[in-house]
Amino acid sequence: MTAPKSISRSLPSAVGVATVVTSRMSVQTPGTGFTDLTAEAARFLNDVGAKEGAVTLFIRHTSASLTIQENADPAVLDDLTTALSRVAPENAGWTHDTEGPDDMPAHIKTMLTATSLQIPVVNGKLTLGTWQAIYLIEHRSSPHRREIVLQFIGAT
Amino acid sequence: MTAPKSISRSLPSAVGVATVVTSRMSVQTPGTGFTDLTAEAARFLNDVGAKEGAVTLFIRHTSASLTIQENADPAVLDDLTTALSRVAPENAGWTHDTEGPDDMPAHIKTMLTATSLQIPVVNGKLTLGTWQAIYLIEHRSSPHRREIVLQFIGAT
Amino acid sequence: MTAPKSISRSLPSAVGVATVVTSRMSVQTPGTGFTDLTAEAARFLNDVGAKEGAVTLFIRHTSASLTIQENADPAVLDDLTTALSRVAPENAGWTHDTEGPDDMPAHIKTMLTATSLQIPVVNGKLTLGTWQAIYLIEHRSSPHRREIVLQFIGAT
């Protein structure tokens, strides 16, 4: 554990809150893997005139999930898929198997990643780091249509 | 990674934000397993007249956690319990063992799931998908009383 | 699953929302391990005059993450580090290895923990439980400077 002196903080900005804006996004996945939602989230903020606040992404499913991960080397996403499959392998004695061998592992992978993400917005922009992208992770083998709720709370 | 053309988005709704409403919920758990909080969260939104915004659930513990998971087949919840126990088994050489063999695995399971969840609310309703429920996961063997903070931010 | 009668809830408090306040925090990590951010988050709330609402912490990196965990026995943090290394070991056949053997495990550990946390605030105080602290987890071996966005939405 590090002492507090290793921590610094900038002067905060403060604005009035006025608005909550909600939208739904539909994403067609190609089967197991990652779909980058970053540009669409940025377009949403632009379309609604978001200035300062936070955007929430909420995925309405239990066999697909959300994460914020590296946007540069696609091998990272392959390795993340491998890592999830090692933690939640198929045919590992699961009792819920009526929807196919990829279904129960998909629920486990969803539990271990995120169903909701919240990202602060400043000057109308996501405050993501240089190497961060927002991804939907499809955990089922076959393509699915997935719904995500996008919501901005803050000043417009 | 999928191209942006696989993504569509609905026209957003926008309302004024007026209120933050906070409440505490106490849940008696039966020991290891899942307690469904969905109906109580919906009642909270109804009681406070929530219209559009987001509800946060925050659990004030480090050996119990939150997740959003399948609400249909109880076997899914059994398998999720099994999966967590495989990732964080008892008697696996943990150094923190003064509170019993189930304590350190409970901390690990909490870290790998969620301590806070945020769910958008539209027309006074949780925007959960058809198969989603909000669960408290008790990771300790014995029954515990757990506290959760419920908070709605948005228009009432 | 437990019946609803095991759940009780306090009367909610309601206040007007007025403000979103955003700040950035920079944290120098010592390499792999946990840095406690709780006191700094509390100072932020005090500095901005936060009364009731929610504070979000968002880490702008994909090889360091956030968690809320036990604040009492440092052995818990050691065991959490061990658990993450067991789930995401080095030299386990990852294809992304150009940034060193600790890099891909760091991405996996980030995916399995939290990039954003939201904590309700009441009477200007974090509603953390007695044994909870907010931690940054550095997953890389060497020291890094990490940026976190702190944001309060609510009444000031």
The predicted-structure confidence for B22-70, as pLDDT tens digits, reads as follows 999 999 999 999 999 999 999 999 999 999 999 999 999 999 999 999 9
Q: What is the mean pLDDT of residues B132-146?
A: 97
- If one counts every other C-beta atom within 10 angstroms of the C-beta of residue B115, the result is 27
- Residues of chain B in contact with residue C14, where contact means CB-CB under 8 angstroms, are 19-22, 48, 156
Q: Label residue C13 by pLDDT band (50, 70, 90).
A: low
Q: Label residue B122 by pLDDT band (50, 70, 90).
A: very high
Under DSSP, is residue A112 helix (H, G, I), strand (E, B) or coil?
Answer: helix
Q: Do C54 and B23 touch (CB under 8 A)?
A: no
Chain C contact for B32 (CB, 8 A cutoff): no
Q: Label residue A8 by pLDDT band (50, 70, 90).
A: confident
In angstroms, the CA A22 to CA A32 distance is: 28
Residue with structure tokens 């200035």? A51
Q: What is the mean pLDDT of residues B2-30?
A: 77
**Measuring CA to CA, which residue among A140, A131, A71, A143 is closest to residue A109?**
A140
Smallest CA–CA distance, residue C8 to chain A, in Å, is 25
| Residue C101 predicted with pLDDT over 50 | yes
Under DSSP, is residue B18 helix (H, G, I), strand (E, B) or coil?
Answer: coil
Chain C contact for A105 (CB, 8 A cutoff): no
Which chain B residue's Cα is nearest to A65? B68
| Residue B3 predicted with pLDDT over 50 | no
Task: Give the pLDDT confidence score for residue C156 in this predicted structure.
Answer: 86
Task: Give the pLDDT confidence score for residue B9 in this predicted structure.
Answer: 76
Smallest CA–CA distance, residue B129 to chain C, in Å, is 20
| Residue A18 predicted with pLDDT over 90 | no
Summarize pLDDT for C41-53 with one digit per residue, the tens: 999 999 999 999 9
Half-sphere exposure of A150 (CA within 13 A, CB side): 28
Going by the DSSP 8-state scheme, the letter that residue A114 receives in this structure is B
Q: Label residue C3 by pLDDT band (50, 70, 90).
A: very low
B111: nearest CB among C4, C113, C131? C113
Smallest CA–CA distance, residue B106 to chain C, in Å, is 11
- Residues of chain B in contact with residue C83, where contact means CB-CB under 8 angstroms, are 87-88, 108, 111
Q: Do A17 and C20 touch (CB under 8 A)?
A: yes
pTM of the model: 0.93
Q: Label residue C17 by pLDDT band (50, 70, 90).
A: low
Q: Are B121 and B17 in contact (CB under 8 A)?
A: no
- Residues of chain B in contact with residue C113, where contact means CB-CB under 8 angstroms, are 111-112
C residues 79-98 lying closer than 8 A (beta carbon) to B? 79-80, 82-83, 87
Summarize pLDDT for A73-128 with one digit per residue, the tens: 999 999 999 999 999 999 999 999 989 999 999 999 999 999 999 999 999 999 99
A residues 35-54 lying closer than 8 A (beta carbon) to B? 35-37, 39-40, 43-44, 47-48
- If one counts every other C-beta atom within 10 angstroms of the C-beta of residue C1, the result is 12
Q: Write down how long chain A is.
A: 156
Task: Give the pLDDT confidence score for residue B91 in this predicted structure.
Answer: 95
Which chain A residue's Cα is nearest to C16? A17
- Residues of chain A in contact with residue C112, where contact means CB-CB under 8 angstroms, are 112-113
Which chain C residue's Cα is nearest to A2? C35
Half-sphere exposure of B9 (CA within 13 A, CB side): 22
**Measuring CA to CA, which residue among A68, A62, A81, A64 is closest to residue A28?**
A64
User: Please, which chains are in contact with A (at least 3 CB pairs closer than 8 A)?
Assistant: B, C
C61: nearest CB among A6, A15, A129? A129
Top residue of C23, C96, C111, C138 to mutate, by most chain A CBs within 10 Å, is C111
Among B152-156, C111-115, C146-150, where is mean pLDDT lowest? Answer: B152-156
Smallest CA–CA distance, residue A121 to chain B, in Å, is 16
Task: Give the pLDDT confidence score for residue B14 in this predicted structure.
Answer: 63
Chain A contact for B3 (CB, 8 A cutoff): no
- Residues of chain A in contact with residue B67, where contact means CB-CB under 8 angstroms, are 111, 115
Arithmetic mean of pLDDT over chain A? 92
ipTM of the complex: 0.92
Q: For A66, phi and psi rounded to 5 degrees?
A: -120, 150
C2: nearest CB among B35, B112, B153? B35
Arithmetic mean of pLDDT over chain C? 92
Chain B contact for C127 (CB, 8 A cutoff): yes
Task: Give the pLDDT confidence score for residue C14 in this predicted structure.
Answer: 62
Q: What is the mean pLDDT of residues C114-134?
A: 97
| CB contact set of A17 (below 8 Å; sequence gap of 6+) | A53, A153, A154, A155, B17, C17, C18, C19, C20, C153
| Residue C71 predicted with pLDDT over 70 | yes
- If one counts every other C-beta atom within 10 angstroms of the C-beta of residue B3, the result is 9
| Residue A1 predicted with pLDDT over 80 | no
Pick B1 or B109 by higher pLDDT: B109
In angstroms, the CA B13 to CA B28 distance is: 38
B111: nearest CB among C6, C67, C78? C67
| Residue B13 predicted with pLDDT over 90 | no
Task: Give the pLDDT confidence score for residue C19 in this predicted structure.
Answer: 87
Q: Label residue C6 by pLDDT band (50, 70, 90).
A: confident
| Residue C38 predicted with pLDDT over 70 | yes
Which chain A residue's Cα is nearest to B53? A20
Pick A13 or B78 by higher pLDDT: B78
Chain B contact for A137 (CB, 8 A cutoff): no
Summarize pLDDT for B72-120 with one digit per residue, the tens: 999 999 999 999 999 999 999 999 998 999 999 999 999 999 999 999 9
Task: Give the pLDDT confidence score for residue A17 in this predicted structure.
Answer: 64
